[in-house]
Structure 1
C-alpha cells in the first residue's frame, strides 16, 4: 500500500475507488481497464482497490478456506474475463476461462477437472486472484493502481470530490475519489430478535455455543469438539459446507460400495449433526451438466418482448405498467418449465421426430395450459402430468410421520429419485431439464422484476415470499454427489434429520438448545451447539458494514422502498438508478459518481449473487460491470463529476 494519500486540487488524474474486490469489483475493474485500452488517448487514471479481507478474492472466495467446500457452477461455464482467450497474453478484455486456468495448475486435483466438474471454492478464489493480477498488470501505461487492505468506514462529499475513510492495520487512510464503486458483497447481518435471544441464551450458559449469519469459511467450526451434538437450521448450500467441514474436513472419507452406493468411513473426529429446515429436505441436486456454454435454451414464452407486451397492456387497462407476478409472469414461467418437460418426455420416450411435433403444437397453443395435456396424451405421453413447482419444492408438505424412521424413509425416497434424475442430466432428464429452464429464463425474469417492475404487494408476497424462497432451491443446488453424501452420513449415524417446518430455540429447563418438527412424532432433539446456516441478505436495515451504516445514517444513501397507493415495503436494497447504477441519496438525488452493484442492490435487482461471467457469452454479470465502467469514463470525459 502506498503512504497516506494527499489530495492535490490541481491533480488531473481521475481517481476511481472500488470498494470490495470480489467478483463484482474485479469485473468493474476489468471493464474500466479494457475500455481505457480501447481509447486512442485514454485519461490518466488512478484506481484504488480496497478490500477488508483479501484483495482480488474478497471474503467469500478467500483462498485459504477449506478444500472440501465446492462451487455449485461447473468449471466450464465460468470466466472472469469479458472476452475469450485469444492466445495472446491475458489482459483486460481477453483471458483464460476458469477451466483453461485450471488446466495450467500443477495440482492434478485441479488440472484434471473437466468442463462439467465442480471445483473447490478456494480454487476459484485463486483464479480470481489471477484475473485480478492480470488486470493490474494490464493497467501499466494506463494509470496507477493503489491496493488497500482495510475496512471502508465512511464516504463523504468534499467540494467536487469524494473522500473515503479506510481503517487499515497501519491506521486511518483517506482516499480521494472522483468516482466510487461499491461492490462489497455479502455482509453479516445484525441478529434478528429471535437470533439475539438465542445468542443471549448461549452467553448465559458457557457450555453452549450459537453461530449464525455467516459463510462456513468464517464460522468457528474447528473448535467444536468431536462427539458434540450440533443442531443446524437450514439445509442449503452453506449447510453442505458445514457438513463437509465436520466430516471430510476432519479426516472422514466417502467411498463407493460394490453396488455403487456411497458410504461414509468416519474418522472419529466428527460431531453429531441434527438438522432441519422449512421443507425438511436439503437443497436439490443440479442435474449433471450436458449443455455447452452457449447451448442454453432460448425461452419460448417468458421473453423480454412478452414482458414488454404485458406492461403495455397494463398501461392501457390500468394506467400502470407494473406487473402482478402471479397473474402476469408466473403463468409464462410455468409454461416455459412445462414446455421443456413435455418436449423432453417426448424425445426420451419416442425420439426426436415426436419432439418436433409436440413442440410445434404447444407453441401454437401458447402459454395457456388448456389443451396442453391433450397434446401430450395424443402423442403418447399419457402418464405425464404437468409439473407443480410448489409440490416439487415441498414434497413433504401435508404429511405426518409417526417416527423419525418413517421420516428418513420418505426423505430417502425423495432424494434417491432426485439423484437418479440428476444423473440423467439437464438435457436427458425431463425433470432436471425443466428446472434448468428456470435458470435459462432468469434474464427475462429480471426484466419483469427489477427496479420496481412488479406491483409492491406482488413483489413482496408473491415473488419474494413464495416464488423466490420456494423455487430457488430447485435449480441452484449442489452437484449430485452432495445429495448422495447426505444419505451416506445418515446411514453412518453422523447426520440426523429432524423434519419439515423445523422449530428451534432454547430449552430453559434442560439448559440446551433444541430442534423439532411439528409433523414428526418424538422429533425434539437437544444440542449444545446451534448453527443457523441460513445467510440472509443483510440489506440496509440489518447491515453490519460500517460504510453502509454511515451512508444511510448521513442520508447519503437510501433503501429502495417499493410502494404505491396501496402498499409500501422496505426492500433493504441500495436505491440506485436503473440506467447507470448510481446510488440515490435519501433526498432522491443520484450521486454524481457513486455506484452500487451486486449484493448491496439485492431487492432492487434480483439474483445479484451471481459471481462470474461465462466464456464467450455477454451475460448480465458482464453487462452490469460495463454499464458502470462506461458511466465512470464518460462522466470523466464530459466533466459530469
Structure 2
C-alpha cells in the first residue's frame, strides 16, 4: 500500500508503560503493509519515561525486584505468536541485561525498566519515515469530542491538548482515591510500595499492615534491608536469620486469608533446560469454547470443571513422577481412569482417594487457597507458631527435592489462566461469566503469583525475629476514637480478644478497580459523563471493570453507545517467550484496528 493522499491520521496512546509500548511496537510493525507510507502522527502521553512508565522507572531502589524470572519475560513478539502482523524477535530481559540477577534469576525492577526503555528506543528509532512521533510528558485529564468528529486529549500542566482520531487508554493499574484520614493518623496506600512514604515511618513505631501479597514483600524489603538490617545464613543451605538494625518499625500484618502468598518454585539454574510442560489436555481453548456454546452455559458449571481436571492431572502426573511411592497404582492405570472421569469432579476426587493414600499428597485446592479456614488459635503465640510453620512448609514444598510437584501446579494455573484470558479477550465470555471467572481464578493468583523463594525465606526470618507479627485470617481494621486522638485497630475472628493498635495503616496492596472513583482524572471524567460504565460484579455490585465491546475493547457508555474510536487496554502480566502469548496477539489486533480505515476496522 503506497497511497500518500489524505491528511495525516492521528493516534494517541495514553499510558506508555509496557502495555502502551507494546501497542506502539505493533503499530509500527504493521504500518508498512497495512497503512503504507501515508503520514501518521503517533502521540504518546505519559508523565513518566516511555517504556518503563511509573512501575518500572529506573530511579527506584534496587531492593525492589521483579516477581517473574528474567528469562521468562520479553516484550519482543517472536515466531510463536499467531497474529496477522510480523514478528519482531529479540532478547528476553535476562538475555539483554548486563546487571546481576537475584535468587537464581530475578531482575531488580529498575533494571527491568532499563530493558523496557531500550525496547522503546529500539522500535521507535527504526520506525517508518512516514510516522511522526510526539512524546507528551504530561497526564491526560479529559477526553473530549470535537464538532468535526475527532477527539481532544486534554493534558495537565498547561500543555496544549492533543487532537486525535483514535485513542487507546493503556494506563496500567490505576490508583484509588483515598478516603479522609482522621487527625493524628497516617495511611499509606493502597498502591505500589512508596519509598518516600515508608521512609517517614519512625523506627520502632507500630504499623498495621493490610495485605500479605507482593506489595507487602516490597514494603518489607524497604523497611528492613533498606534500613540497614541484614539476613545471614546459619549454615550453608540452612535457614536465614535476621539481624535488625534497630531502625525497623514493628509490623502487624494480616489479610483475608491471613497467610502470605506462597513463593515461586525454586529454579535449578545449573541443570540443562528441561522440556516444556505437556500440552493442555482438558482445559483447552477449543474444549472451553465448546462448553460455552451450550445454551445457558455458565463458567462455574461448564468451564471450571475442565480447569479443575487440568490442574489435578498436572499435579498427579508430577506426583507419580517425583514420588512414585506416594501412589498405590501405576501412572498408566491412573491416567486411563482419570481421562474417563475428567468431567465429573466428585468421581475424580474418589479416584484420587483410592490411588493416593495420604491426604497430604492429594490436590486439595480449598486447603491450598485458604489454609487457615475455620481455625481458632490459643493466643497470639499459637498463631505465630502456626504461621511460621506454614511458611517453612511452603518453602520446603517449593524449594526442596520434590518441588517439581508445586512447579507443575503453578505452570498449570498459569496456562489455564491464559486460556480463560483468551476466551475473555476473544469475546467468548459474557459479563456474568467474566465476573465468575475472575472470582474463581483468585485461587490461581494466590497460588502462582508469589515472590521469589528468597523473599519468602526472608519473611520467615523477619517473623521469627519479631519484626513481623501476624494478625490472623479475616483481618478487620477499624478506626477507633480514643480520648483526644484516634487509632487504627486490627482484629481477627480466629484470635478472639487479641487487638493490635497503631497510628499508621499501611495498605500493602494494589487498589481494586473502582468504577467512577479512580484517582486518575481522565477515567473519573469519562465515568462522570457516562462514557465509561462499570461491569457488574459476581456478587451483584459493580466490578469496577469498564464495560467493553468484546474483542474490540471499545468502551460502551451508559446509553449503550459503543465508542469505536476508543480502545481500553487494561493491565496485563508480562508475556513469556515462545508461548504464543495472548498479550501479543491482542496488542497486534489493537494496532491493526487503529490503522485500518473506519469501514474496515
Asked whether the two chains share a fold, i.e. TM above 0.5, the reply is: yes
Residue 11 of structure 1, CA deviation = 6.9
The residue number in structure 2 matching 1:605 is none
How far does residue 613 in structure 1 lie from its aligned partner after superposition? 2.1
Q: Is the counterpart of residue 255 in structure 1 residue 236 in structure 2?
A: no
Equivalent in the alignment of 1:594? 566
Q: In the alignment, is the contact (CA less than 8 A) between 2:265 and 2:403 conserved in 1?
A: no
Q: Deviations over 1:95-136 (max 9, x none)?
A: 22211111xx2x4x24xx69x511111111111111111122
Q: In the aligned structure 2, how far is the partner of 1:452 from the partner of 1:537?
A: 23
Displacement of 1:471: 4.3
Query: Alpha carbons of 1:60 and 1:262: their partners in 2 closer, same or farther (altered >3 Å)?
Result: same
Q: 1:98 is matched with which residue?
A: 93
State the partner residue of 1:474.
Answer: 447
Partner of 1:141: 129
Does residue 1:122 correspond to 2:138, yes or no? no
1:500 and 2:466 correspond: no
Alignment pair present for 1:531 and 2:496: no
The aligned residue for residue 80 of structure 1 is: 75
- Judged with a 3 Å threshold, the aligned counterparts in structure 2 of structure 1 residues 134 and 447 are, in CA distance, closer, same or farther, namely closer
The residue that corresponds to 1:347 in the other structure is 321
From 601, 608, 613, give the equivalent of 2:575. 613
How far 1:275 moved relative to its partner?
A: 0.8
The equivalences for 1:94-493 within 5 A come to 94-102=89-97, 105=98, 107=99, 109-110=100-101, 117-139=105-127, 141-158=129-146, 159-168=148-157, 171-191=158-178, 196=179, 199-201=180-182, 204-205=183-184, 208-217=185-194, 220-258=197-235, 260-289=238-267, 295-313=276-294, 315=295, 320=296, 322-325=297-300, 327-350=301-324, 354-369=330-345, 371-372=347-348, 381-384=356-359, 386-424=362-400, 428-446=403-421, 460=435, 462-465=436-439, 467-493=440-466
- TM-superposed deviation, 1:40: 8.7
| Compared CA separation, residues 29 and 292, structure 1 to 2 (3 A) | farther
| Contact in 2 for aligned 1:70/1:119 (Cα 8 Å) | yes
User: In structure 1, what is the Cα distance between the partners aligned to 2:253 and 2:15?
Assistant: 33
Structure 1: 5+ residue runs without aligned partners? 1-9, 86-90, 600-608
- Note if contact 2:66-2:107 (Cα within 8 Å) is conserved in structure 1: yes
Query: Secondary structure at the residue paired with 2:576?
Result: coil
With normalisation by structure 2, the TM-score equals 0.89
Q: How does 1:512-527 map to 2 (within 5 A)?
A: 512-527=487-502
What is the CA-CA distance between 1:398 and the residue it aligns to?
A: 1.5
Partners in 1 of 2:509 and 2:403 — Cα distance?
Answer: 32
User: What do residues 280-305 of structure 1 show as CA deviations (whole Å, max 9, x unaligned)?
Assistant: 11111111246969824422222222
Match of 2:83 in 1: none
Q: Secondary structure at the match of 1:635?
A: coil
Contact map agreement 2:417 2:441 (CA 8 A) in 1: no
Q: Please, which of 557, 569, 575 is the counterpart of residue 547 of structure 2?
A: 575
Structure 1 residues 194-241: Cα deviation after superposition (integer angstroms, max 9, x where no partner) = xx3xx432xx22xx3112222103661111111111110111110111
Contact 1:389–1:471 under 8 Å retained in 2: no
Contact map agreement 2:34 2:596 (CA 8 A) in 1: no
Per the TM alignment, residue 371 of structure 1 is displaced from its structure 2 partner at its CA by 5.0
1:68 maps to 2:63: yes
Answer yes or no: is the 8 Å Cα contact 1:37–1:142 preserved in 2: no
Structure 2 gaps, min length 5 = 81-85
The Cα of 1:67 is off from its aligned counterpart by 1.2
Aligned residues: 582
Alpha-carbon distance in structure 2 between the residues aligned to 1:173 and 1:263 = 55
- Judged with a 3 Å threshold, the aligned counterparts in structure 2 of structure 1 residues 61 and 507 are, in CA distance, closer, same or farther, namely same
1:541 CA displacement = 2.4
Residues 210 and 530, structure 1, Cα contact 8 Å, conserved in 2: yes
- Mark the CA change 1:386 to 1:458 in structure 2 (over 3 Å): closer, same or farther: farther
Partner of 1:632: 594
Structure 1 distance, partners of 2:245, 2:512, is 35
Quick one: structure 1 residues 240 and 41, their matched pair in 2 at CA, closer, same or farther if it must change by over 3 Å?
Answer: same
CA distance in 2, matches of 1:345, 1:519: 33
Inter-partner Cα distance in structure 1 for 2:38 and 2:332: 55
Note the C-alpha offset of 1:81.
1.4
Normalised to the residue count of structure 1, the TM-score between the two structures is 0.84
Partner of 2:517: 542
Indicate the SS of the match to 1:412.
helix
Conservation of the 8 A alpha-carbon contact between 2:141 and 2:156: yes
Worse-matched range after superposition: 16-25 or 385-394: 385-394
Give the deviation of 1:449 after TM superposition. Answer: 5.3
Quick check: 277-286 or 383-392, which moved more?
A: 383-392
1:3 aligned residue: none
Q: 1:312 to 1:345 in 2, by over 3 A?
A: same
